[in-house]
Amino acid sequence: MRSTWKGAITFGLVSIPVQLFPATEEHGVSLHQVHAEDGGRIRVKRYCEKENREVPYAEIAKAYESPDGRTAVLTDDDLSDLPLPSKKIIDVLAFVDASEVDPLLLAKPYYLQTAGPAAAKPYVLLREALSGSGRAAVTKITLRTRESLALLRVRGELLVLQTMLWPDEVRPAAGLEPQGKVDVRPQELKMATSLMDTLSEDFDLQALHDDYQQALDSLVAAKLEGVEPPSGEEAEAMAPDNVIDLMSALSASVEAAERSRAGGSAAARAEKDPGTPARKQPARKGAAKGEASAGSGGKTAAKKTAAKKTATRKRASA
């Protein structure tokens, strides 16, 4: 894995040489455009509208067009020469409680590795200070000619730098909240909490996978082999547009979640030990008592009927 940035963390007079490595990698199948009729590749060519010719990428620069139509051409050299102190420095601005940072501001994460053995001690010192205080450092850094805020925090044995949006880049949410007065009953809140607890039991984030990616991989493989793509049942769930009885919906959700967990546990046990027979569900006591009562009642009625018939025959013979 190649580093994407080299520089130093600075706070006060302390300087820690480090290098950045991308901490995440999105998976996916690389797709390109083709002509649907014959599969011919669609190419995008860069043409200069003044010279009416294709321009190589090396001759392309960026530009800004003002409202009055004027154009300011910006070359790579122009952008790299911007007077930004954070080009090679992760400048610590302040230390804050990690809970104070709005998750909406967080963007791409990077692992921080020490650049050289001399940086190990100040690196560990900063890591332990952040970990012991429960704080994170708000910093500035310039990546690919763009300066941004970044959050420096601890993850395991490493320092992690996560770029952030500027506060004015988060759109206001005014007017999006539910309108009018909404009353939530204590019973509804209790049932919602119960549903949350049921869904959270034995939850394993690492076990989740991308269903779309798996389906796309299967589709591509089938197309390459020239066979019929696998077809699955329609699994798209339709969200109800009207909630009639919130308590009934919550109660049904809790029951469904419990059944799902019970089924998952039974399947897991069977997978671990295929020779173990599935446990039978115990019969409901109320139902068993009712069935027993119904059976004994039927026998008693039959005996009384037989006794009446016998007595009638004796009187008739007398």
How confident is the model over 188-215, as pLDDT tens digits?
A: 888 888 888 888 888 888 888 888 888 8
Residue 92 has pLDDT above 90, yes or no: yes
Residue 304 has pLDDT above 80, yes or no: no
One-letter-per-residue 3-state SS of 182-223:
CCCCHHHHHHHHHHHHHHHCCCCHHHCCCHHHHHHHHHHHHH
**Residues 9, 115 contacting (CB under 8 angstroms):** no
Average pLDDT over residues 110-115: 95
**Residues 110, 23 contacting (CB under 8 angstroms):** yes
- What own/partner pairs with CB < 8 Å and gap ≥ 24 does 304-313 have? none
Residue in the structure block whose two tokens are 């998952």: 264
pTM of structure? 0.65
* pLDDT reported for residue 241: 58
More confident residue, 54 or 297: 54
Residue 278's pLDDT band (cuts 50, 70, 90): very low
Distance CA 41, CA 61 (A): 26
**Residues 137, 151 contacting (CB under 8 angstroms):** yes
Q: Strands of the chain (E only): list them.
A: 5-11, 14-22, 47-48, 53-54, 62-65, 71-74, 89-97, 106-114, 135-143, 146-155, 158-164
Q: What single string gives the DSSP state of each residue in 216-271? A: HHHHHHHHHHTSPPP-----PPPPPS--S-HHHHHHHHHHHHHHHHHHHHHHHHHH
Residue 290 has pLDDT above 90, yes or no: no
* Phi, psi (degrees; rounded to nearest 5) at 103: -60, -25
Residue 255's pLDDT band (cuts 50, 70, 90): confident
Distance CA 130, CA 128 (A): 5
Q: Lowest mean pLDDT of 101-110, 151-160, 217-226, 243-252, name the range.
A: 243-252
Residue 244's pLDDT band (cuts 50, 70, 90): low
CB atoms within 10 A of CB 96: 13
The CATH fold assigned to 5-23+86-168 is Ku70; Chain: A; Domain 2 (2.40.290)
**Residues 21, 111 contacting (CB under 8 angstroms):** yes
CB atoms within 10 A of CB 139: 23
* pLDDT reported for residue 315: 46
* pLDDT reported for residue 264: 65
* pLDDT reported for residue 201: 83
Average pLDDT over residues 148-167: 96
Q: What 3-state DSSP class applies to 167?
A: helix
* pLDDT reported for residue 275: 54
Distance CA 137, CA 10 (A): 11
Residue 239's pLDDT band (cuts 50, 70, 90): low
Residue 82's pLDDT band (cuts 50, 70, 90): confident
How confident is the model over 28-81, as pLDDT tens digits?
A: 778 889 999 999 999 988 999 999 999 998 899 999 999 999 999 988 888 777
Residue 288 has pLDDT above 90, yes or no: no
Mean pLDDT of the chain: 80
Most confident of 119-133, 137-151, 278-292: 119-133
What's the one-letter identity of residue 289? K
**Residues 34, 42 contacting (CB under 8 angstroms):** yes
* pLDDT reported for residue 301: 46
Residue 286 has pLDDT above 70, yes or no: no
Distance CA 109, CA 87 (A): 18
**Residues 170, 182 contacting (CB under 8 angstroms):** no
Q: Lowest mean pLDDT of 44-53, 125-134, 208-217, 275-284, name the range.
A: 275-284
- Structural domain boundaries of the chain? 5-23+86-168, 186-198+248-271
